[in-house]
Amino acid sequence: MTTSTATPAAQNAERRTRAAELIASLPTGLYIGGEWGPSADGATFAVENPATGEVIAHVAKGAQADAAAAIESAAATQKSWAATPPRTRSDILRRAYELILERQEDLALIMTTEMGKPLAEARGEVAYGAEFFRWFSEEAVRIDGGHTTTGDGANRILVTKEPVGPCILITPWNFPLAMGTRKIGPAIAAGCTMVFKPAELTPLTTLALTEILTLAGLPAGVLNVVTTDDPGSVVETWMDSGLARKVSFTGSTQVGKLLLEQASRTVMRTSMELGGNAPFIVCPDADLDKAVGGAMVAKMRNMGEACTAANRMFVHRSVADEFARKLAERMGALNVGNGVDEGTQVGPLVERKAVDKVRTLVSDAVERGATVVVGGEEGADAGYFYQPTVLSGVDPRSDLMGTEIFGPVAPVIPYDTEEEVIEMANNTPWGLVGYLFTQDIDRGLQMSSALEVGMVGLNTGLVSNPAAPFGGVKQSGLGREGGRVGIEEFLEIKYLAIPRT
Ligand code: NAD
C-alpha cells in the first residue's frame, strides 16, 4: 500500500484514505439467512472514529422484527448444520482463518478507525482473532465422548456430545474481532447456528468478518448478524424467543447479570465473560525491570480498555517509588495520537464518556492524596484522548480501586506484607485475572493459589491465548473460552444406557 519513499505524513494520509475506501465498500445491512438487507423499518445508526469524533459510516439498526427473523433463521438451519461432517466445519474455519490473515492489514485499518487502538495492536488482534478459527478448526474434528460400564456390570454407558443448539452471541467493542471469533469459532466447530450482535460502537469489523465467513463457505442461516444501537430490544427478543438454547456474552458485569436473569426464564445455557479489576502485585524480590515491562503490557494494551487490564498495582513499599519512577519514564515516553498514524503507541479512548470517567477517577484519587507522577491530563484534540498516567501513593479507599478504570491510568499502591496484599487483591467482587512478579517460585505458586481469580500471569503481563482457557471467577463470569474446554461450552452431553445382555 505505502511506498518506501513516501514521507510519514504521506503514508498516514494514504492509510486514512485506504481506511475510508475499505469502510465505504463494506456491506452495512443486517445479515439474515445468508442475505444482506436493511432493517425492517429502514433505520440506521452512526459509527464514529474516536480519534477524530467524525462519523465514518451508517449501519442498519435492527429492531424486534429483525431479531425475530434472525433467530428463526438460526433455528431453521440448526438441524442441517448439526448434521454436517465435522471435517466440513473444520475446513470452513480453516479457510476463514487464512482469509483473515490475507486481509490482516485491511481488517486492522477498519478496526483502528472504528475503535481507536494503534495499528500495530490492531494487526496483533487480527492475528490473535484469526487464531481462534485455526484452533477451533482443529477442535471440530476432535469432539469426543466416552464408553464405560455401570458398577454392577449390567449396563453400558455410552456418552456422546451434541451441539447445544441455536446460540445468542453478544460482544463488546474493545476487541472487535477477537471477541467475535472466540465465540463464532467454537459454535461453528460444535455444529451450532448463531445470532450475533456486535457492540454498537464497533460493528464494522464484524461486517468484514461476516463477508469473510461467507467467502469461506459458511452456509446460509448458520450465522445471522444484527447490528443495532438498541441492544436491549434485539437481545431480549432472542432471549424470550424460545428458539435459542444458549447465550454467550462478553461485556460488563451489569449487563451480564441482566442476561442471566433473562436466561433463567427458559433455563438457557450461559457463558459469561464479564468485567475485571485485576491486581498487579510486585514482590520485593521481583526483577523490577521485568515487572515494569509486564506492567506496560498489562496496563497499556488497548489503552487500558481491556477486561484483563491491570487496575490496581500493589508494589512492595521497599520498591514502590522506584517502580513508579521507572513506569512513569516508560509511560511518559509513549506517543499518543491517531492509531493509523506511524509511530502512534497510544490511541484515543473509545468515546467521550470514557474520558469523563477516567478524569473523574483520577481527580478522586488525587483528592485522597495520590501524586500524579506523569500524565493526568486529557488531550486537547477533537478525539477522545487521555495521557498515559501514573499515580503513586494511592489511598486504597479511592474510587478507582473498586471500578474498572478502562483507561491508561496506573495507580501504584504500596503494601508491606504478603498477607495484606492478598487480602487487598481479593477485596473485590471481580476475579478475572491477577498478575504477580517474584523470582521466588514457591512464593509465586503460593500467592497464585491464594488469588481469587480465573487466570494468573506469573512474571508476565499477558495471559490471553487461544490455546488457554480464558475466564474468571466471582462476578467476572461463568465458563471458559478457548483452550480444550472452549468447545464444551457449545456442546451438550447425552448419555445412552444400554443393557449388556
Ligand atoms: P457492555 O456490557 O456495555 O456491552 C457489551 C455488549 O452488550 C454490547 O454488544 C452491548 O450492545 C450489549 N448490551 C448492552 N446493553 C444490553 C442489554 N440491555 N441487553 C443485551 N445486550 C446489551 O460492555 P462494553 O462497554 O461493550 O465492554 C466493556 C466491558 O466488557 C468491560 O466490563 C470489560 O471488562 C468487559 N470485557 C470482558 C471480557 C472478558 O473476556 N471477560 C473481554 C472484553 C471485555
The alpha carbon of 79 and the centre of ligand 1 are apart by a number of angstroms equal to: 30
Q: Is the shortest distance between the CB of 327 and ligand 1 below 6 Å?
A: no
Q: Is the shortest distance between the CB of 273 and ligand 1 below 6 Å?
A: yes
Distance, CA of 75 to CA of 71 (rounded, Å):
6
Are residues 65 and 43 in contact, defined by beta-carbon separation less than 8 angstroms? no
Question: How many Cα neighbours within 13 Å face the side chain of 117?
Answer: 24
Q: Is the shortest distance between the CB of 199 and ligand 1 below 6 Å?
A: yes
* Cα-to-chain-centroid distance, residue 348: 18
Choose among 277, 281, 293, 358: nearest CA to 320: 281
Distance, CA of 92 to CA of 218 (rounded, Å):
6
Mutate to test the pocket of ligand 1, among 169, 250, 259, 308 (most ligand atoms within 8 A of CB): 250
Please report the DSSP string for 311-332 in residue order.
EEEEEEHHHHHHHHHHHHHHHH
Residue type at position 469: P
- Lookup: cell for 118: 494503534
Q: Give residue 382's pLDDT.
A: 86
499 Cβ contact list (under 8 Å, min separation 6) = 154, 155, 156
Pairing between strand 167-170 and 246-250?
parallel
Are residues 306 and 464 in contact, defined by beta-carbon separation less than 8 angstroms? no
Choose among 231, 248, 262, 310: nearest CA to 477: 248
Distance, CA of 376 to CA of 154 (rounded, Å):
71
Residues 238-265: b if buried by 16+ CB within 10 A, e if exposed: bbebebbbbbbbbbebebbebbbebbee
The alpha carbon of 179 and the centre of ligand 1 are apart by a number of angstroms equal to: 11
Q: Is the shortest distance between the CB of 343 and ligand 1 below 6 Å?
A: no
Ligand 1, atom 11, residue with closest C-alpha: 199
Q: Is the shortest distance between the CB of 307 and ligand 1 below 6 Å?
A: yes
Are residues 79 and 166 in contact, defined by beta-carbon separation less than 8 angstroms? no
The alpha carbon of 46 and the centre of ligand 1 are apart by a number of angstroms equal to: 19
- Lookup: cell for 458: 506469573
Q: Is the shortest distance between the CB of 252 and ligand 1 below 6 Å?
A: yes
Apex 251 CA angle, 282 and 219, nearest 5 = 125
> Residue 408 burial (CB < 10 Å; 0-12/13-18/19+)?
buried
Q: Give residue 4's pLDDT.
A: 59
Catalytic residues: 273
Question: How many Cα neighbours within 13 Å face the side chain of 220?
Answer: 7
* Cα-to-chain-centroid distance, residue 314: 25
Ligand 1, atom 41, residue with closest C-alpha: 273
Query: Per-residue confidence of the chain (501 residues) as pLDDT tens digits?
Result: 545 578 999 999 999 999 999 999 999 999 999 999 999 999 999 999 999 999 999 999 999 999 999 999 999 999 999 999 999 999 999 999 999 999 999 999 999 999 999 999 999 999 999 999 999 999 999 999 999 999 999 999 999 999 999 999 999 999 999 999 999 999 999 999 999 999 999 999 999 999 999 999 999 999 999 999 999 999 999 999 999 999 999 999 999 999 999 999 999 999 999 999 999 999 999 999 999 999 999 999 999 999 999 999 999 999 999 999 999 999 999 999 999 998 999 999 999 999 999 999 999 999 999 999 999 999 877 899 999 999 999 999 999 999 999 999 999 999 999 999 999 999 999 999 999 999 999 999 999 999 999 999 999 999 999 999 999 999 999 999 999 999 999 999 999 999 998
